[in-house]
Amino acid sequence: MTKPTDINEYIAGFPEEIQMLLEQIRQTIKAVAPEAKEVISYGMPGFKLNDILVWFAAHTNHVGFYPKATPIEVFKEELADYKCSRGAIQFPFKKPIPFDLITKIVKFRKDKNLQQI
């Protein structure tokens, strides 16, 4: 499989139900940061606004959401039900994706990125 050149290609490489989840995550991010540029970075879909906002990627049993380290600490109570590491959150396919939490995290990252101007 060749590396995708854009988010559409990335999403198209997965089964339909995973495509739907990835597209919902994409649209959730775009709703918060419509001015952000879509990118493929490290082989994953991402959004940039001055700097990277977030990445996301489908894995075997979960969607990985990569907002960098600070939001994971800031939202640690709301993330208590999810496996997290320094810069990554795992949203299992067997549980509903917390789009409201994704919205909060993207807004947090957007505000931080815009402060860097």
B/e letters for 4-37, b = 16+ CB within 10 Å, e = fewer, are: beebeebbeeeeeeeeebbeebbebbeebbeebe
Residue entry with tokens 């067997």? 94
Q: What is the mean pLDDT of each successive set of 10 residues along the chain, which is 117 residues long?
A: 88 96 98 97 94 96 96 96 96 96 97 83
In a domain, 1, yes or no: no
In a domain, 33, yes or no: yes
In a domain, 84, yes or no: yes
In a domain, 54, yes or no: yes
Query: How are beta strands 62-66 and 51-58 bridged, if at all?
Result: antiparallel
Give the per-residue pLDDT at 116: 74
Q: What is the CATH number of the domain that holds 47?
A: 3.90.1150.200
Tally of CB atoms within 10 A around 81: 9
The total number of structural domains that make up the chain: 1
Give the per-residue pLDDT at 117: 58
Give the per-residue pLDDT at 1: 56
In a domain, 2, yes or no: no
In a domain, 39, yes or no: yes
| pTM for this predicted structure | 0.94
Tokens of 4: 């995708």
Tell which residue, 70, 40, 74, 37, has the closest CA to residue 57: 40
Burial class from Cβ neighbours inside 10 Å (0-12, 13-18, 19+) for residue 90 reads middle
In a domain, 69, yes or no: yes
28: containing domain? 7-115
In a domain, 66, yes or no: yes
Give the per-residue pLDDT at 3: 87
